[in-house]
Amino acid sequence: MKTIKVLIGLILFSILLPARGQNQAVQFTLQDRDRIIRTEQKLESVNTQLSIKIEGVRTEMGIKFDAIEKRFDQRFDQLFNFLWVIIGVFTTITASVIGFAFWDRRIALSPIKKENEKVISSLREFARHQPKLQEILRNAGLL
């Protein structure tokens, strides 16, 4: 029982001791006030320096983004011009192939036409003496 009383006494004493320490008033001196003012001034100066640096970084980033945008525009223009060149080349190739085909066909058929005219004129001449051949050529529309 005695130990319980001692224990309860120690517990009460330990509980009341910190409460007594909290009741003491903290002294606020002029040095503390000056220290707080200096800290606020330093914070304001750091804040202004930081805002100046941030503005500088923003302007630099704006300049760099403008330069990158110009480069993209130049590359786009180059690509667009390159595509026009490719379209022109393919159009020229296509027109050349079609022109060559017509020219080659005309050149290739001209000797055949000459031979065909010779054959028809020979048949007409021979048909003057052969009445059956003359009738055949009339039916074919060659006389």
Instruction: Provide the pLDDT for residue 108.
Output: 85
Q: In the numeric block, which tokens belong to residue 47?
A: 């804040």
**pTM (two decimals):** 0.44
C-alpha span between 129 and 141 (Å, rounded): 18
Measuring CA to CA, which residue among 127, 54, 79 is closest to residue 140? 127
pLDDT at 137: 83
What gap in Å lies between CA 107 and CA 85, rounded to an integer? 32
* pLDDT per residue of the chain (143 residues) written in tens, 0 to 9: 777 777 777 777 777 665 555 556 668 788 888 999 999 999 999 999 999 999 999 999 999 999 999 999 999 999 999 999 999 999 999 999 999 999 998 888 888 888 888 888 888 888 888 888 888 888 888 77
**Would you state the pLDDT for residue 103?**
93
